[in-house]
Chain A
Amino acid sequence: MGAERKKGVIPLNRLPIDSSALISGISEKAAEKTELLVNTGFVPGERVTPLFTSPAGDPTAYLLGGCFTVALRHAEAENILVTEESYEDRTI
């Protein structure tokens, strides 16, 4: 069931608020920022959930690994590729 509903890889900024996904990698066009993003906590394999957006629409706060919150601008978030999870796959 779960596998059927799995969707493709999308950039993090396209992930709707409150839906959770797994980070699959950092886009190649942002290779120079990879280390920085990984060190901030955007590690491939980590679960990420957009929580809320600032009144101006940018940046957005993301819950990482179910334990801490980091805000990223869209310009950065679009370099982070995520795989949407189906509801069945989601665990905390």
Chain B
Amino acid sequence: MRIELFKTKTENRRVRRLYLLGNPNVGKSTVFNGMTGLKQHTGNWSGKTVDAAGGKYTYNGIEYCLTDLPGTHSVDSDLSEERVAGGEMRSAASGAVTLIIADASALKRGVALALEFIEETRGGAILCVNFCDIAAEKGINIDFGRLSSLLGIPVTGITAKHGADIKRLKALIDNEFDKIISSVPQRGEKRQPAERLKAAEKIVSECVSAPRLEGGLTLKIDRLLTSGAVGIPVMIAFLGMILWLTIRGANYPSELLSRFFGFLKPYIAAPLQHPAVPSFIRGMIMDGVYDTVTWIVAVMLPPMAIFFPLFTLLEDAGFLPRIAFNLDKCYARCGMSGKQCLTQCMGLGCNAVGVCGCRIMPGEKQRAVAVITNSFIPCNGRFAILISLSAIFVGGVAPGAPQGLVPMLCVLGLICLAAAATWGVSRVLTKTLFKDNSQTFALELPEYRRPEIIKTLGVSLVSRTLRIVGRALLVSAPTGAAVWLLANITIGGLPLLTHISRFFDPFGRFIGVDGFIILAFILSLPANEITLPILVMGYTAAGTMTDAGNLETLRQVFEANGWTIVTAVNMMLLTLFHWPCATTLMTIYHETKSRNVLALSFLTPCFVGIILCLFVKWSSVLLKLII
């Protein structure tokens, strides 16, 4: 998510610096993306953008460097989430133009921020009033000329998702830039927030005519979603529906892809059949690299490509803060803020992103706890493993049930287990190592917005799914080759991989899995997506995966290697709780700069996983003894 800030070279070329400032959730990221053509993901909740992002564009032969600052409540703020904005703002205000983005439906806040900016800094500013389309629907009328003369800065009304409005904004910046820079308006006295608010209210009352608002649609939906009888069941039903669509929907493309790759294999292998190519190279490329890579595409891509766009729609509509709101009491009991729920939702996509998102947590201690527990939530790589395993082993439990229903309930249960583990561990951590009672909870509930379905699907497919699969492929190709070598270099008639797994076998058996499973988790440290391919390669020892992506073949391989329902359950538990992948670990260190947090992030899930596996294994042994 982090984009490097571009260094400006003002001495060589004409470069103009622009900053984006605005209260949370006023559409800054949309303006940023529209202007720079970059695809920073936008979400309808406060704190979505947690790091200052930079981008550039050229207009009329002049290069503009645009920095998107995270959502801020105020230039002079103390919250860690907001510190970035305040600090960047002061240092950057001179010589640059700041675009203050405001929501047309909540103009008073935007005007108050603009007043504060004018009082506190020496920079020039343009006020961009966003969401004019929504305001127009509500019957809100804004006199932009009057607003501009009252504030003393240029004001324009835009709808950031419309390309034409962005073009108009660029033209306005082009026209006004030098004028704004050269004529810094008169600075007033610094006022108290209450006075500033009154001034903003007065200005708004002079320029805005709005019909009396009768609790809008947002309020009606909110009252429904946050009522005890409807809210919680609806939330669970939503998640269940998404999971079911994912599991049902992923089957068909998975099988198609796997057949396609199987069909393609001989053609790709053909050039390698040349006698000059040593057979181990051929094996390594085709059975190691090709099979692993195509496995990941066939098995991982379809569920990701279905789940994440659907989830993004919920996110864009503004659904996630309501989940945090409904569940806050659970987090409060664990000494955490409900905002942790938002970081967990981000972790559902990628734990590295979730760890970055922990910046929205109030206070260093809560942030550390949220970082440590983030990998409890299965990221999409592990998510696909859970879906495959539950389809293989749990799908057949109730033959009469609609297809996909039982695996859906299984995955839903696992996510609830992950959430419960997060609460439990957070509670322990906040009572012991990370005690902190001084934090304030304040969660913004933005208005619901109609998500732009086509655009959202496109962006989330490209920015999330393809990028994450791309990373998985990059890691899986060399790992595939290495594992193939381990599986094919034999010592004393047995593959090296088997030797190593035998070392882990006693421990594996003790916790109800086997040595290969432990080894697969160790080897998949670079990316969780490759756990299953490694496992299958280990089991088949010859190093070939026949018909990757076919779940029935998978079941046969696993059953031939002595898997029982206990093995499958423990494999799923370990998939939830082992250790974060290498990327996440690096992000954790980068974010916290603390070896202790890093060590705890590694060991805590490991510990929880082993305890749960031991519980399942030994209670099943006891059960057998009794029966």
Q: List the interface of chain A (C-beta within 8 A of B).
A: 32-33, 35-41, 43-46, 51-59, 61, 65-73, 76, 92
Q: In the complex, which residue of chain A has the Cβ closest to the Cβ of B212?
A: A92
Query: Is A58 a contact of B329 with CB atoms below 8 Å?
Result: yes
Contact among A45, A53, A59, A70 with B198 in the assembled complex (CB-CB below 8 Å)? A45
In the complex with contacts A68-B106, A72-B441, A38-B193 CB distance below 8 A: yes
Q: At the interface, yes or no: B176 with Cβ under 8 Å from chain A?
A: no
**What are 18 of the A-B contact pairs (CB < 8 Å)?**
A36-B440, A44-B193, A45-B197, A51-B219, A54-B231, A55-B227, A56-B326, A58-B332, A59-B329, A59-B443, A61-B222, A61-B325, A61-B445, A65-B201, A67-B103, A69-B445, A69-B446, A71-B325
- B interface, size bucket: 35 or more
| Residues from chain A with Cβ under 8 Å of B79 in the complex | 36, 39
Query: Is A76 a contact of B194 with CB atoms below 8 Å?
Result: no
Q: How far is the CA of A37 from the CA of B82 in the complex (A)?
A: 14
Interface residues of B in 163-189 (CB under 8 A from A): none
Query: Is A67 a contact of B438 with CB atoms below 8 Å?
Result: no
Q: How far, in Å, is A78 (CB) from chain B's closest CB?
A: 12
| Residues from chain A with Cβ under 8 Å of B201 in the complex | 65
Contact among A35, A55, A76 with B228 in the assembled complex (CB-CB below 8 Å)? A55
Query: Is A70 a contact of B226 with CB atoms below 8 Å?
Result: no
| Residues from chain B with Cβ under 8 Å of A59 in the complex | 325, 328-329, 338, 441, 443
Q: How far, in Å, is B559 (CB) from chain A's closest CB?
A: 44
Q: How far is the CA of A15 from the CA of B441 in the complex (A)?
A: 19
Q: List the interface of chain B (C-beta within 8 A of A).
A: 23, 73-74, 76-79, 82, 103, 105-109, 193-194, 197-198, 201, 212-213, 215, 218-219, 222-223, 226-228, 231-232, 325-326, 328-330, 332, 338, 438, 440-447
A54-B226, A55-B231, A67-B107 are known; give 18 further A-B pairs, CB within 8 A: A32-B438, A40-B442, A41-B109, A43-B193, A45-B194, A45-B197, A53-B226, A54-B326, A56-B228, A56-B330, A59-B338, A65-B106, A66-B108, A67-B109, A68-B109, A69-B222, A71-B444, A92-B213
Query: Is A39 a contact of B328 with CB atoms below 8 Å?
Result: no
Q: How far is the CA of A44 from the CA of B194 in the complex (A)?
A: 5
Number of A-B contacts (CB under 8 A): 119
Contact among A39, A68, A71 with B77 in the assembled complex (CB-CB below 8 Å)? A39
Query: Is B197 a contact of A76 with CB atoms below 8 Å?
Result: no
Query: Is B222 a contact of A71 with CB atoms below 8 Å?
Result: no
| Residues from chain B with Cβ under 8 Å of A56 in the complex | 228, 326, 328-330
| Residues from chain A with Cβ under 8 Å of B231 in the complex | 54-55
Query: Is A35 a contact of B325 with CB atoms below 8 Å?
Result: no
| Residues from chain A with Cβ under 8 Å of B197 in the complex | 43, 45-46, 65
| Residues from chain A with Cβ under 8 Å of B326 in the complex | 54-56
| Residues from chain B with Cβ under 8 Å of A76 in the complex | 440-442
Q: How far, in Å, is A81 (CB) from chain B's closest CB?
A: 13
Q: How far, in Å, is B114 (CB) from chain A's closest CB?
A: 15
Query: Is B329 a contact of A54 with CB atoms below 8 Å?
Result: yes
Q: How far, in Å, is A42 (CB) from chain B's closest CB?
A: 8
Q: Which 4 A-B pairs have the closest CB atoms?
A: A56-B329, A67-B106, A55-B228, A69-B445
Query: Is A37 a contact of B442 with CB atoms below 8 Å?
Result: yes
Q: How far is the CA of A36 from the CA of B439 in the complex (A)?
A: 10
Query: Is B109 a contact of A39 with CB atoms below 8 Å?
Result: no
Contact among B193, B212, B445, B447 with A70 in the assembled complex (CB-CB below 8 Å)? B445
Query: Is B443 a contact of A55 with CB atoms below 8 Å?
Result: no
| Residues from chain A with Cβ under 8 Å of B227 in the complex | 52, 55
Query: Is A71 a contact of B219 with CB atoms below 8 Å?
Result: no
Q: How far is the CA of A55 from the CA of B223 in the complex (A)?
A: 10
| Residues from chain A with Cβ under 8 Å of B215 in the complex | 51
Q: In the complex, which residue of chain B has the Cβ closest to the Cβ of A73?
A: B441
Query: Is A52 a contact of B443 with CB atoms below 8 Å?
Result: no
Q: How far is the CA of A26 from the CA of B219 in the complex (A)?
A: 27
| Residues from chain A with Cβ under 8 Å of B226 in the complex | 52-55, 61
Query: Is B109 a contact of A71 with CB atoms below 8 Å?
Result: no
Query: Is B74 a contact of A54 with CB atoms below 8 Å?
Result: no
Q: How far, in Å, is B295 (CB) from chain A's closest CB?
A: 43
| Residues from chain B with Cβ under 8 Å of A70 in the complex | 442-445
Q: How far is the CA of A42 from the CA of B445 in the complex (A)?
A: 15
Q: How far is the CA of A32 from the CA of B231 in the complex (A)?
A: 34
Q: How far is the CA of A35 from the CA of B442 in the complex (A)?
A: 13
Q: How far, in Å, is A18 (CB) from chain B's closest CB?
A: 9
Q: How far is the CA of A52 from the CA of B215 in the complex (A)?
A: 12
Q: How far, in Å, is B52 (CB) from chain A's closest CB?
A: 19
| Residues from chain B with Cβ under 8 Å of A65 in the complex | 106, 108-109, 197, 201
Q: How far, in Å, is B283 (CB) from chain A's closest CB?
A: 58
Q: How far, in Å, is A28 (CB) from chain B's closest CB?
A: 16
